[in-house]
Structure 1
């Protein structure tokens, strides 16, 4: 009888974990990517002359305003236009914002196509960020081994996106029924003081949900 109750308890824990992943796995890509890029985008500004920086800055700000004012489709078009005539590094940044806007507009296939293009053609480290989001968008629709393989460059120690990549791998493992592996990955994030605070909080909650 005790075994029966133990099995029920494990099923309830897994169900709770699945609901938590639905909550966080559906994390709005536009917001997540937008916050990261809003900060890191400043690095690129210093590489351009004041005149070109001002012109592109105006266009970037206009596109960003569209994204934050509930017009993701228009924002995607604006970022796409900016990416076409911007320098390579800045084009990568604009492409990522284009993809996040497309995702917010509900055009998942188009967003995925842009993320995969950046992963293949974009400059480091943003190509790895695109790899992570391309994998996250396909959890449950592509086999775990394929997705984890695509994440490999971002999982390397020292990669700035490694914590996000580890969280993504954990979600992939959980979706595939590899609960023990998922739990170990979530624990590694929760126990690492260098993990960004929000991501660490999500990982801690997932550890609890999985009975760790």
Structure 2
């Protein structure tokens, strides 16, 4: 008797499975195919990205060798091409290197490229590097306000602080604002973590600036005036 019940239960299970398969079998096959296709597509995309990154790395190295060999025009074109169609990371880095090459003959053009990186790069370190490089060019061909727009935020602290202050000090000196130039260079000299070379340059520039009390337009000390 127990065997009969077992056979009946098995028949019922088979019938239920058949009904479920008849109803959902096509859907299950479709879902399985979607999973297989999705995994395959993801693996293909990963392979494509790895290959693109490898090719971009080779192109970047080739452009860097051109720059090292003094072939600036060719290096500039190679970096520009990679900046235009390379993967995101290499594209930004290449635009930064393109700006470096452009700066050798066209400072205004280089400044524009640096500002594009500073305003658009996803990587904060690259944005800050572009701001500093652009600030030094702006100190040469632009105004104090141009330099402040690029460097002032970086001067507040961090690894770029001394360089940012140096760039603003140079721009102030060029603009004839000796008080501001002195303030920036003194801040560099007193900054404990400033690179030694930057502190030395700031010391030299402080030496050529007029003494603080001799700066034009400085109000006289009331204690030193006589009736």
- In which range does the TM-score fall when normalised by the shorter chain? 0.5 to 0.7
Please name the residue that 1:94 is paired with. 94
Q: Considering Cα pairs closer than 8 Å and 6+ residues apart, tell me whether 1 or 2 has the greater RCO.
A: 1
Contact 1:129 1:154 in 2 (8 A): no
Question: In the superposition, relative to structure 1, how do residues 126 and 65 fare at CA in structure 2: closer, same or farther (>3 Å)?
Answer: same
Q: Which runs of 4+ in 1 moved over 6 A?
A: none
Is the aligned partner of 1:163 residue 2:136? no
What is the rounded CA distance, in whole Å, between the counterparts of 1:195 and 1:113 in structure 2?
28
Please name the residue that 1:126 is paired with. 126
Please name the residue that 1:76 is paired with. 76
Report how many aligned residue pairs link the two structures.
163
Question: In the superposition, relative to structure 1, how do residues 161 and 90 fare at CA in structure 2: closer, same or farther (>3 Å)?
Answer: farther
Which structure 2 residue ranges, 5 or more long, are not aligned? Answer: 1-48, 212-227
User: For each residue in 1:137-186, what CA deviation from the matched residue of structure 2 results, as whole angstroms up to 9, or x when unmatched?
Assistant: 2336543234313423322322x322211111001111111112212211
Q: Which residues in structure 2 correspond to 1:51-200 (within 5 Å)?
A: 51-104=51-104, 106-123=105-122, 124-139=124-139, 141-158=141-158, 160-200=159-199
Which structure 1 residue ranges, 5 or more long, are not aligned? Answer: 1-48
The structure whose Rg is larger is 2
- TM-score by structure 1 length? 0.67
Contact 1:183 1:210 in 2 (8 A): yes
SS for the counterpart of 1:185 is helix
Question: In the superposition, relative to structure 1, how do residues 197 and 90 fare at CA in structure 2: closer, same or farther (>3 Å)?
Answer: farther
**Root-mean-square deviation (CA), in Å?**
2.4
- TM-score by structure 2 length? 0.63
Contact 1:163 1:189 in 2 (8 A): yes
What is the rounded CA distance, in whole Å, between the counterparts of 1:120 and 1:96 in structure 2?
12
Q: Which moved more, 1:127-136 or 1:173-182?
A: 127-136
